[in-house]
Structure 1
Amino acid sequence: MTDQRARHTAERFREVYGAAPAGVWAAPGRVNLIGEHTDYNDGFVMPLALPHTILAAASPRTDGVLRVHSGDGSSGGGQIAELRLDALRPASDGGWAAYPAGVVWAMREAGLPVGGADLHYDSTVPVGAGLSSSAALEVVTALALDDLYGLGLTRQRLARLAQRAENAFVGVPCGIMDQTAAACCTEGHALFLDTRDLSQRQVPFDLAGRGLRLLVVDTRVKHELGDGAYAQRRAMCEHGARALGVHALRDVQYAQLPAALGSLAAAPQDAGPGGGPDVRAAVRHVVTENRRVEDVIARLDAGDPRAIGPLLTDGHASLRDDFRVSCAELDLAVAAAGAAGALGARMTGGGFGGSAVVLVEEAAADAVAGRIVQAFAAAGYARPRIFPAVPSAGARRLV
C-alpha cells in the first residue's frame, strides 16, 4: 500500500507541476501512550508512530520560490500556494502552507543552504484528531529538503528545526515531542524520550504478541477553547517553576511533591481561561505524569504490558481534574471503555477534543469499540472513528 501511495503521489506531482519529482518522503502521525503536557516542562514522554502518514513528493528549485500543493484540497481548493523565500515572515497568515514555509524559514535562519522547492502532499493522518498532523507535515518537509540539498542532518536536528518552525513561524508554543516522534520512532516500538536532553530509547511494544490491542478513538470534535488554553497552561507551568525556584517542573521530584504543593499554598491561584488549572494543580499533574511515564516503562521492561492499563486511566483523571484539558466527549470515551472491560484508557494529545487511546484484550476489542460507539450515540455525539494503533516507522524516504 505504501509503494502504491508513493507512486500515486509522484504521479500527482507530475500532474500538478509538469515534471517528475526528485523523490517521495513520508512522516507519520503519532499517538502518545503516556506523558501529556510534560514535554514543554523538560519531562518524559512516550509516543509511538502510527501507520497514517503524510507523503511529500518534491523537487528543488533555483529561483528562490517555494510552491506547495495539497492532495486533500486543503490548499485553497487544490490551488498551488506560491511563496518567495526572501519574503517569508513569522506569524504571516499563510493557512496550512505556513507549516512547510516555516520549515524552510527555520532552516535558512539556522544558516542552512536551502533553496526553493516544489512540494505536493498526500495525507492519511486525520486532521484535528490530536494525532500531530502538523508535526508530520513539518517533518516530512524537513526530511525532503534535507535530502534535496544534501544537508546530512540528524533526525534530532530535523525535529528541532520543525519545532522551531511551529513555535516561531506559525506561532504555536508546542514542545518537542510531536516532531521527535515523527522523525525518530521505529516500527514495533514506543519511544521513551527525555525532552530535556533529547536522549531516547526505543521500547519494544508488541501488543499483538501478548494478545492485546491499543485502540485510537477519534472523537471528531475540537473545541475552540483549545486555541488559547494550551498557551495558558504552558504559562501556568512556567509560573509554577519560577515560584518553586526550579528551571522546569521536571526538576520537582515525585517525593518532593507534597512539600512543593505546600509551598505554593499561599501563591495566587487564579484559574486561566475556561476554568484552567491553578498553579498547584498544574504542578501536581506534571510531576505525577512524569512518574507515570517511568512506571509504564518499568512495567513494559518487566514484560507486563497489561499492568500499564491503570496508569493510563490515572493519567486521564489527572488531565481531566488537575490540568483540565479534557472534554465531555473524551471523558465519555474513557468511561465507556472502562465500563466495557478495557484495561485502561486516556485522552491523548493537547486536549479539548481529538482522540483517546484504549488498551484492550484482543478478544474484547470489537465489543469495547461497540460500547463506545453506543455511548456516543446515546449522548447525541457524532460517531467516533476507532482504529488500532500499530507502532510504525518514523520519517523515511520512499522513492
Structure 2
Amino acid sequence: MKEFHERFGMEPAGVWSAPGRVNLIGEHTDYNDGFVLPFAIPMRTTVAARPADGPFWTVYSRETGETVVISEADLRPGAVNGWAAYVAGVPWALRAAGHRPPFLDLAITSDVPLGAGLSSSAALTCAVLAALVDLGGLDLSRDDWPAVAQRAENSYVGAPTGIMDQSASTLCRPGHAMFLDCRSGDREHVPFALAEHDLAMLVIDSRAPHSHADGEYAARRASCESAAQTLGLRALRDLAAEDLPAACGRLDEVTARRVRHVVTENARVLETVEKLRGGSVTGIGPLLTASHASMRDDYEITVPEIDTAVETALAAGAYGARMTGGGFGGCVLALVDADAAERVADAVTAAFAERGFTAPTWFRAVAAGGATREA
C-alpha cells in the first residue's frame, strides 16, 4: 500500500481488509436478541501494518490525513476520541480477553461511505483486528472475532451496537447473506447470488443528515428494554406474534408500536430466509416493503428522503424496497431486475430533485466475503 510507504518510509508486513455491510432485513432486532440477515458489500476498509519499533500504535488515516499515536496508557475507555478510538479499542478488547496484541504501525484507507448506514465503523474495527491477530499470532478463533470487535465498539468507543455489524464484517461469505441469531450466535449462510436470477440489489444513499440519530437510537433501545421488563421477558425476541395484542394492551401506545415492530420484523426475517432457501428471491420483495412500513409507522425512524426513495423505487418497478441501517438517514435497498437498476436509480434522483433534496448516490450491492488478508 503506497500510503503506508509514504507515511512510514518502508513496506508493510501485510495488508488486511474488512467490508461494510448491508442488512437485507431485520432492523433493530439485534439488541432485542432477535434475528438479522446482513450481507457484506465489496466496499472495504484496508489496513497495512508492520511491527512498531516502540511500545505504541501509530495510525495514519488517508481519509482524514491525520496520524494518531496510541500508547498503552491510552488503552482505557475515553482516552482516545474520534475515528482513532475504533482503532485503540481493538488492542484494549484483545487485552481484556487475555491476549497480548502486538504494537504496530498502521495505515488505513477506506471506500466504505461514512454516515451511510453501511457500518464503516465495524469495517475499520474488524480490519484492525485482522491485522493484530495475524501479526501477533494470536490464538483467537474466527468465531470469536465478532465479540471482541463488538466489545471494542461498545465498551471502549461507547457505541451501543449489537453483534450484527461485526459478525457480517468478519464472517460473511461471497454470494450469501448471513442468517444470524443474535442471542445464540448461531448462523447460516443463505444463498444470495442475485445475478443468477437476473436481479440486482440497488443501494441508494439518501445523503440525508443523521440528525438526532444517536439519541433516538438509544431511546428506541431503552424503550424495548423497558417493555421487555414490563412484560417479564428476557428480551422482546421471546414475545410470540400471537401474544402481541395482549402484550401491547399492557403498554403505552408509543411503546406498543415499538414492540410491534420488533416482533413482526423478527417474523419477516424468518420468512425471508425460508423464501431464499427455496430460491424465491423476488418473493422477498413484499417483506422488504413491509419492513419499511413498520420502520416508518411503528418504529418511526425514517425521514422524508428515505420514504421518497422507497416510494419512488417501488413506483419504478422494484420488487421491494426498504431503509437499511439504524435510521434517520442512510441508505435504501431496492430489489430490481438487473437491467432496471439504472432506470430505478434515475427515477429516485429525479424525485429528490423535485423535492429539493440533496442528490442521492447509488451502487449495485453484491454479497461479498468478510475480513481477510489481502497481501
TM range (shorter): over 0.9
- Structure 2 Cα separation of the partners of residues 181 and 370 of structure 1: 30
Q: Secondary structure at the match of 1:391?
A: coil
Contact in 2 for aligned 1:91/1:168 (Cα 8 Å): no
Match of 2:8 in 1: 17
Q: Which amino acid aligns with 2:339?
A: A
C-alpha distance after superposition, 1:119-165 (max 9, x if no partner): 11111101111000000000011111000111132223111111111
Contact in 1 for aligned 2:80/2:88 (Cα 8 Å): no
Match of 2:27 in 1: 36
User: Match for 1:82 among 60, 64, 69?
Assistant: 69
C-alpha distance after superposition, 1:310-360 (max 9, x if no partner): 100000011111111111110000010011111110000001101010001
Q: Which amino acid aligns with 1:174?
A: T
- Structure 2 Cα separation of the partners of residues 247 and 327 of structure 1: 31
| Residue-pair matches, total | 375
User: Match for 1:150 among 116, 137, 140?
Assistant: 137
1:67 aligns with 2:54: no
- Distance change (3 Å), C-alpha of 1:366 and 1:86: same
Contact in 2 for aligned 1:64/1:86 (Cα 8 Å): no
User: Match for 2:163 among 162, 170, 176?
Assistant: 176
Match of 1:195 in 2: 182
Question: What TM-score, normalized by structure 2, do the two folds share?
Answer: 0.98
Match of 2:218 in 1: 231
Q: Which amino acid aligns with 2:8?
A: Y
Question: What TM-score, normalized by structure 1, do the two folds share?
Answer: 0.92
- Structure 2 Cα separation of the partners of residues 244 and 69 of structure 1: 49
- Structure 2 Cα separation of the partners of residues 292 and 168 of structure 1: 31
1:26 aligns with 2:26: no
Match of 2:152 in 1: 165
User: Match for 2:255 among 274, 279, 303?
Assistant: 279
User: Match for 1:260 among 238, 241, 247?
Assistant: 247
Q: CA deviation at 1:377?
A: 0.6
- Structure 2 Cα separation of the partners of residues 215 and 165 of structure 1: 31
Match of 2:192 in 1: 205
Q: CA deviation at 1:221?
A: 2.0
- Structure 2 Cα separation of the partners of residues 213 and 310 of structure 1: 16
Q: CA deviation at 1:235?
A: 0.5
Q: CA deviation at 1:224?
A: 1.9
Q: CA deviation at 1:213?
A: 0.7
The unaligned stretches of length 5 or more in structure 2 are none
Match of 1:219 in 2: 206
- Structure 2 Cα separation of the partners of residues 61 and 247 of structure 1: 45
Q: CA deviation at 1:62?
A: 5.6
Match of 1:245 in 2: 232
Q: Secondary structure at the match of 1:303?
A: coil
1:103 aligns with 2:90: yes
- Structure 2 Cα separation of the partners of residues 155 and 380 of structure 1: 46
- Structure 2 Cα separation of the partners of residues 87 and 296 of structure 1: 44
Q: CA deviation at 1:226?
A: 0.3
- Structure 2 Cα separation of the partners of residues 390 and 87 of structure 1: 38
Match of 1:398 in 2: 374
Contact in 2 for aligned 1:342/1:358 (Cα 8 Å): yes
- Structure 1 Cα separation of the partners of residues 141 and 365 of structure 2: 27
Q: Which amino acid aligns with 2:61?
A: S
Q: CA deviation at 1:220?
A: 1.3
User: Match for 2:364 among 385, 388, 392?
Assistant: 388
- Distance change (3 Å), C-alpha of 1:255 and 1:70: same
- Structure 2 Cα separation of the partners of residues 53 and 389 of structure 1: 13
- Structure 1 Cα separation of the partners of residues 143 and 247 of structure 2: 33
- Structure 1 Cα separation of the partners of residues 33 and 156 of structure 2: 22
Q: Which amino acid aligns with 1:214?
A: M
Contact in 2 for aligned 1:376/1:383 (Cα 8 Å): yes
The CA RMSD measured in Å over matched residues stands at 1.2
Q: Secondary structure at the match of 2:249?
A: helix
Match of 2:46 in 1: 55
Q: Which amino acid aligns with 1:178?
A: D
Identity %: 51
- Structure 1 Cα separation of the partners of residues 228 and 359 of structure 2: 40
1:134 aligns with 2:125: no
- Structure 1 Cα separation of the partners of residues 143 and 49 of structure 2: 22
Q: Which amino acid aligns with 2:199?
A: L
Q: Which amino acid aligns with 2:55?
A: G
User: Match for 1:344 among 306, 309, 320?
Assistant: 320
The unaligned stretches of length 5 or more in structure 1 are 1-9, 270-277
Contact in 2 for aligned 1:85/1:116 (Cα 8 Å): no
Match of 2:264 in 1: 288
User: Match for 1:369 among 317, 336, 345?
Assistant: 345
User: Match for 1:335 among 311, 336, 347?
Assistant: 311
Match of 2:289 in 1: 313
